[in-house]
Amino acid sequence: MGFEQNFSLKGKIAWITGASYGIGFAIATAYAQSGATIVFNDINAELVEKGLKAYEEAGIKAHGYVCDVTDEQAVSELVKRIEKEVGVVDILVNNAGIIRRIPMTEMSAAEFRKVVDVDLNAPFIVSKAVIPSMIKKGHGKIINICSMMSELGRETVSAYAAAKGGLKMLTRNICSEYGKYNIQCNGIGPGYIATPQTAALRERQPDGSRHPFDSFIVAKTPAERWGEPKDLMGPAVFLASDASDFVNGHILYVDGGILAYIGKQP
């Protein structure tokens, strides 16, 4: 058997949250192509149906469920249902996330709490729900989708940066607490990726010119481009596979070099 088998996910069950489209969909597609059985959820039936159709069109028989990942009771019940209908989750990707771009002094506490609830509390809730079965099974992989904002701040994203910074430390704490059960918990920190979540930052201006933020990010990225969801597929497979069994508590930045670069001279 060749070394490449270490990157196989054959026989594994992978649950990717919020994966009807975007980054989660790309990661789930990579896992399916690597042999895994795909489970995903999204916040409403319409999105789950949209996702099931997209997976079917990609030749993937996915298991889709409606679940708000911030609802601890619903998540607990969903884990029981997944274990009954599909099997014990081997790989969890905490992908579901939201962002609200509002200057901090104009953001309500409720809006701040909502972002933290989805981007930080939910990864806690879902990880807590799957870890006991991973312990019984003797292995598990948890991958938290962090962000550039796990390391950097910028105007208008205070809640998101606080949540993603916290998610980096939750990742390290799950590693610390459950590594002895052969559970590896790592993060992926995508750079600026072209998905619906960043569409507003790439919109063409009325005169047809590029959005100033679009030009800014391209100048800040050595790769001189936005990332695509497909850029995350290989790193995600690595962190879900046996090949990364001694990688734990690590945030793998997939950012085209942004964090290493001062930025192009204007």
Instruction: By CB under 6 A, name the binding residues for ligand NAP.
Output: 17-18, 20-24, 41-43, 47, 68-70, 95-98, 118, 145, 147, 190, 192-193, 195-198
User: Which part of the chain contacts ligand GCO (CB under 6 A), choosing from 5-13, 54-62, 71-79, 147-155?
Assistant: 147-155
Which of 29, 70, 144, 147 touches ligand GCO (CB under 6 A)? 147
Contact indicator for 98, 68 with CB cutoff of 8 Å:
no
The whole-angstrom separation of Cα 59 and Cα 46 is 20
Answer with the entry of ligand NAP, ligand GCO, none that 47 interacts with (C-beta below 5 to 8 A by kind): ligand NAP
Answer with the entry of ligand NAP, ligand GCO, none that 188 interacts with (C-beta below 5 to 8 A by kind): none
Smallest distance, ligand GCO to C-beta of residue 197, A: 5
CB closer to ligand GCO out of 126 and 157: 157
Q: Does 198 bind ligand GCO (CB under 6 A)?
A: yes
Smallest distance, ligand GCO to C-beta of residue 101, A: 5
Smallest distance, ligand GCO to C-beta of residue 208, A: 23
The whole-angstrom separation of Cα 219 and Cα 136 is 48
CB closer to ligand GCO out of 37 and 150: 150
Answer with the entry of ligand GCO, ligand NAP, none that 196 interacts with (C-beta below 5 to 8 A by kind): ligand NAP
Contact indicator for 240, 233 with CB cutoff of 8 Å:
no
Radius of gyration of the chain (CA): 18
Answer with the entry of ligand GCO, ligand NAP, none that 131 interacts with (C-beta below 5 to 8 A by kind): none
Q: How far is CA 168 from the centre of its chain?
A: 12
Q: Does 166 bind ligand GCO (CB under 6 A)?
A: no
Positions that interact with ligand GCO (CB under 6 A): 99, 101, 147-149, 154, 157, 160, 190-192, 197-198, 201
